A and B are shown apart, each in its own frame.
Chain A
């Protein structure tokens, strides 16, 4: 499996502000995804972070709200923009180092006041 780190691990933010979450992998991976896990819920895919091109967003998620960067094959960022309390969630990046097997970063626990 890959070693995945995320920063920050948690944050408390004021509504209307933005937070950028970083995801770093110890090896080059083609596929990197961002998921959201709301309290007590399952994981929902936000977008696929494509290296060298724009991210592909799932229904209900838009680039203006969740801009994503993927400058290389080991790093990606997700920004949560103009935050509201409804954005309070755990945000997880994941990678697929081989044949469908997907591994998750430790997550970023975001609380918006």
Chain B
């Protein structure tokens, strides 16, 4: 089955700097790669996703890139703000409405 590795486990950045979180997946059959943000005590919220037919997707300050050959994808947050502080999870799934396999998460702290 699919396995998703996520790095780093913790990340601290100064407000205004960029943050990058990286994930690798094991199964080339996976074709959907979402990112979730989970604030303390809250449910995971889908913030951006990318499908295997696309190399990059951007939504305001966040962007995701996908390298199918290397089987890795990354989340980029620019101009970080204190409210970006949370745990971020990457995930992968197979075609169809299949369940997600999650990475272990990255705790991002944005220091004002």
Contact = CB atoms under 8 A, between A and B. Distances in A.
Real binding pair: yes
Interface of A: 1, 30-31, 33, 41-45, 48, 92, 96, 99-107
Given A42-B102, A42-B104, A45-B99, A100 B44 contact: no
B97 interface: yes
Given A30-B97, A42-B89, A96-B97, A101 B34 contact: yes
Q: Size range of the interface on B?
A: 20 to 34
Given A96-B97, A104-B44, 6 more contacts: A30-B97, A41-B105, A42-B105, A43-B100, A104-B45, A105-B43
A33 B99 contact: yes
Given A31-B97, A33-B99, A100 B104 contact: no
